[in-house]
A and B are shown apart, each in its own frame.
Chain A
């Protein structure tokens, strides 16, 4: 319905800055997730969008309209709160009808729209209950229902499914994404759960300590992390990092670790030159890009020792001791191994990441 544009926005609580110089753009009808650990400023950002929190500096636009001074009522938004914030003394129906009543919609229309939303969310048999009598999932659906009875310009979600149990959460992820596609409304969704952000959003803004770390599509964030922190935060199990050096050898540019050396390809070398590489670097490799074979001299380039194996049904996590470093490797299920059993591992040079050791900025 409308594009949301956040321009150089700051949020101060007293002398502490919760959000620092944030620039974000959420295109019309798309789904933006703001992802970060607790205290990263994501909720403050959402509350500034809703008009619940004063914008200390900077500007927010909904389309062409600057909304800085507008109260929530005039922003035409709908928000779903982390703890649902239902009106405890009202029934599910009344809770959902409230936004319509406040806009003087006539009775039949209210009835029609609430019932339609309730059906969509499968809570139409609960309309006469009070929030006290609802389960967590039902409360959450009611809160969403209250947001969608109207056609607001922007949906704001503040960790709406964080308090549900794991199974229901997985189910609701799909439902919410489906709902957003169906209603085609600009949606901004705050979460600390990377799975929610990756699976639902068109674009993700990763925040940490009030600062936007990276803004891009889920695949950008995963495949091209902008810095070491983002690389480590997104992905499960997390990326491995190793201290390495860049060396100019006879066979080309290589990343050198006490236990191995990797020759970089042309694209990687060019990126390194463009960005003015330092000698000290951090090598990043996701657990599923590292190959693993049990036994000594089992064929891969780098000899190592097993620390522990954790079978997970179809897959297996192997912790590998490589000199002073420990790596996590994700592989197909295989035989368990004991502490210090020999093994070999291999890096896929085309899929590693390299970060500057001094400031963590990614070369590729």
Chain B
């Protein structure tokens, strides 16, 4: 080795005077505080961007374009059958103030979602806790998740059959128990909402159960044992150890179900179509009617925008939450999949 000396580059200081001043750094280190004269051309990332392009173009086509269209429509009275669209000075929005069905729609949607959520989370978590300790877990879960696999519209039809006032088995069952009067479930404006909630609970409680089970599997065994040693009973154990661990999972589950209630109205459309007497006319159903029954596309677009806005806000919260359990996975260092 001939080149023993430090190669300092042409005429540049080998060590910056800062070296002694900066106490945090180890002493006697050769430092370089100049920058390169020229940079090499940046590497081509075309390979990656080419891979993304088709998806992004397609998604842009089906999201940005419709979104702009939606905004345009919401600001106009959309003419039917070749008539021109007319600017209407935000009338589609200002009429929200006096539109009882719009306000009622939001109220009903929130009421419906809240009822579904309370029942689904209550039942789902209880079931998960029981199944988690069962030897039959795999088998029972397979049965329990069946309703989720069903098309919502088919679920709606089946329940329509069950609720039927003349030959529905659930109608008979409810009357036999004595909690249902002569009117059918969906025909009575006081209880139609509960009828819809039952369908949602039937179909989607398993999702909460599955998510909670996944969360329970991650509760660290040592924490549970430590708590048992400290003298906690199973209930205390669940509340103080398991619950904090599955809480982020539950939050995600609830938000997802909330957003799905905005998205999927298949079952409601077939079961009540918003009736009787608007008792179940939730916002998405109302929106469907405005746009596809009355063809008031401008008004519909304005309603749709309010729905989109709330969805996006919920979505942003959801994405923030996504980060959380993923980090947890790393902390516990468990294998995935």
Contact = CB atoms under 8 A, between A and B. Distances in A.
Interface of A: 8, 10, 12, 17, 20-21, 23, 25, 54-58, 68, 202-203, 208-217, 220, 224, 226-229, 231-232, 282, 355, 357-361
B36 A360 contact: no
Interface string B306-328: 00000000000000000000000
A358 B6 CA distance: 18
A8 to B, nearest CB: 7
Contacts of B9: 8, 21, 23
B29 A215 contact: no
Given A216-B4, A220-B1, A359-B19, A211 B31 contact: yes
Contact of A58 (B28, B32, B36): B36
A347 to B, nearest CB: 20
A357 B28 CA distance: 8
Nearest to B16: A359
Interface stretch (B38-46, B105-113, B184-192, B212-220): B38-46
Contact of B31 (A10, A209, A214): A209
B42 A54 contact: yes
B32 A215 contact: no
A21 B32 CA distance: 8
B7 interface: yes
Please classify the interface of chain B as helix (H, G, I), strand (E, B), loop, or mixed, using the class held by over half of its residues.
loop
B19 A360 contact: yes
A229 B29 contact: yes
Contact of B29 (A25, A56, A58, A209): A209
Contacts of B1: 202-203, 215-217, 220
Interface in B1-54: 1, 3-7, 9, 14-15, 17, 19-20, 25-32, 34-40, 42-43
A212 B14 CA distance: 11
Given A21-B34, A360-B29, 15 more contacts: A25-B3, A54-B42, A58-B40, A68-B40, A209-B31, A213-B6, A217-B1, A220-B4, A226-B5, A226-B6, A355-B28, A357-B20, A358-B19, A359-B17, A359-B20
A229 B27 CA distance: 7
Across chains A and B, which 4 residue pairs bring their CB atoms closest together, nearest first? A360-B28, A228-B28, A57-B36, A54-B43
A327 to B, nearest CB: 17
A224 B6 CA distance: 12
Contacts of A55: 40
Contact of A358 (B20, B29, B37): B20
A56 B30 contact: no
Given A215-B3, A229-B30, A232-B28, A361 B36 contact: no
Contacts of A217: 1
A12 B17 CA distance: 23
A211 B40 contact: no
B174 to A, nearest CB: 56
15 contacts: A17-B35, A54-B40, A55-B40, A208-B30, A209-B29, A211-B32, A212-B30, A214-B6, A215-B3, A215-B6, A220-B4, A226-B5, A227-B28, A229-B28, A359-B19
Contacts of B26: 208, 229, 232
A62 B14 CA distance: 27
A215 to B, nearest CB: 7
Interface in B297-312: none
B20 A227 contact: no
A56 B38 CA distance: 9
Contacts of A226: 5-6, 30
Contact of B27 (A10, A68, A210, A360): A360
Interface in B244-273: none
Nearest to A25: B3
Given A8-B36, A203-B1, A229-B27, A360 B6 contact: no
Nearest to A57: B36
A359 B31 CA distance: 10
Contacts of A214: 6
